[in-house]
Every structure is written in structure tokens, then in C-alpha cells.
Amino acid sequence: MNCLVLGGGGFIGSHLALALADAGHRVRVFDRPHGRFLRLLERCEVFTGDFLEPRDLERALSGTEVVCHLIATTVPKSSNEDQVSDVAANVVGTLRLLELCRSQKVRRIVFPSSGGTVYGIPRATPIDETHPTDPISSYGIHKLTIEKYLHLNQVLNGLDYRVLRIANAYGERQRTETAQGAVSVFLERSLRGDALQIWGDGSVVRDYIYVGDVVQAFLRVLAYEGEHRIFNVSSGVGVSLNQLVDEIARAIGRRPAVEYTPARRFDVPVNVLDASLARKHLGWSAATPLAEGLRRTYDWMRK
């Protein structure tokens, strides 16, 4: 297929672009001119520009069959601080993208939503795709809003779509300066010898999924022609922040110092996803244990 990875110079996007090329697809990537990992994508056709500028996007979309939309301009903390900008950049920008996809006759769009935020405070765990969606961050709201607009465009215009509600992804190339992704932030601080900062008492539970497993879910959903459109992508294993510190200590051979600070209001107490729908219909399941993923990520950081 002719595939376009929006955000292909970033964390998940760069892994996905290389995996698509390995699988024999013709791959284009689109990112900002200084996308962090564009230099790795020698087998891909690289387009650079502004996601909010339709003329830049139109060049990259021409002749594309499938779009993987991995561009996001905020994280949960920053989304709450400037909700207007969060919506303008992410939701309005995506609506312009959908208009271009229709005009360029794109067949399918795959969108990585946030399994960690769209459900809000869970009524029960593990959380499956039928659980109510009551996000408590602007980030989760904008992800869910995009999901709804994808459905609307499928109904009105026939643009096929698939949504992957991804748990807490981690792995090589993840940014640490935005403080999104406890695994990578904790590992980098451990490498520098700095104390790990934990919001709250460390009892918050998350579902950590290695980036290589996330990419495999993308590859499976690209080939999927069934009726289901939304899939959780997760390990299905809940790990508290305190337990994560224990795992990191084992991975690096020493225990890092920890500083506890007041909890954040937008952090749900527990988030563990049920990925059985993906297992049944995509033939996908997480294959990388947390200990192995931590070791790979730490080795990459050291190098």
C-alpha cells in the first residue's frame, strides 16, 4: 500500500514508518522540518511542513491510500492549561486533514487514540471498548472528539477508519522533556542520577505497552477488513508507580531515589485495558514483558 505516517519523525511514528517499509509498503512520512528521527527514515519519502497548513499536507497526501495520523501537539498536562489551543491544533487540524483525505481519495485513516485518558475514572477494570467514555483531561476529550468525527466522516463520506486506543506506550525514542511517559522519564532521570518525581503516593496504576508491540497492532489493523473500528492496545497488566520503580531498580541494577509530590487532579487512579477484542479479531497481543521493554529502553538511552 501507499502509506503516509503523519508524525513519522516522532516516537511511535518513526518506529511505525520503518516497520511499514520492512513489510514492503511504500511509505511517506510528514513531520515538522526538524522532526527528531527523520534522519533514520532513509527508505521513506519525507515531507516536511506545518500540520495546520493545508497546502503542506496536500503535497504529502497525493496518491496516498492509507493515512496513519500520529500528530498531536499536546499532552494531558498542557492540554488542560490551554484548552482552546488544544482544540484548535488537534481537533480543527484533524478536521482539515479529513477534508483533504476526501478530496485526495484516501481509503482509510488509522488514528491512535488514548486508552489512558478517553475512559476517565473506570467503573471496573480491565476496561473494554464498551466502557463509558468520560475523560477528565482536555487531551482525552480531544482524542474522543476526533474519534467521533472519524465516525461522522465514515457515515457521510465513506472514509474508512480504525482507532487504536493505546495504553501507556513506552520505549526507545520517547521524549522525556514533556514529562509524558513515566517509564522513559524515570529511566532518563535514573541514568543521570536524579531523583524520580512521583505525583501522589505512588499507588496510581497504569498499563504499560512497549512501542514494538504498538507498531505490530498498527500493522494488523491496516490489514483488517472486519466490522470493528475501535480496539484497545495494551498489555492488560496493571503496574503501580511504586512497582514501576521496583522494576526499574532491577533493570538498572540499583535503586533510584524517589521524591513524592502532591497528586494531580487529572490523573485517574487506575487504568488497565482489556485488549481481548484485538486478540480475537486482529490476532494481536502484547509480546514484550515489562522487564524486557525496560532493558531495551535503558540500553538505548545509555547509547
Domains and CATH numbers, the chain: 2-170+208-234+272-287 (3.40.50.720)
Sheet holding 160-166, edge to edge: 45-48, 26-31, 2-6, 66-69, 108-114, 160-166, 230-233
**Among candidates 42, 128, 121, 52, which has minimal Cα distance to 90?**
52
What CA dihedral angle connects 212, 136, 196 and 250, to 10 degrees?
-40
Query: Does the pLDDT value for residue 178 go beyond 80?
Result: no
User: What are the C-alpha distances in Å from 254 to residues 196, 197, 250, 277, 289?
Assistant: 13, 17, 7, 38, 20
Order the strands of the 205-210 sheet from edge to edge: 168-170, 205-210, 238-240
pTM (2 d.p.): 0.96
pLDDT given for residue 109 in this prediction = 98
Please determine, for residue 179, whether its predicted confidence score (pLDDT) is greater than 70. Answer: no
Q: Which residues are catalytic?
A: 139
CB 202 within 8 A of CB 209: no
Cell numbers 457521510 correspond to 156
Q: If you average pLDDT over residues 209-215, what whole number do you get?
A: 98
- What is the grid cell recorded at 172? 526507545
Lowest model confidence (mean pLDDT) among 3-7, 29-33, 54-58, 178-182: 178-182
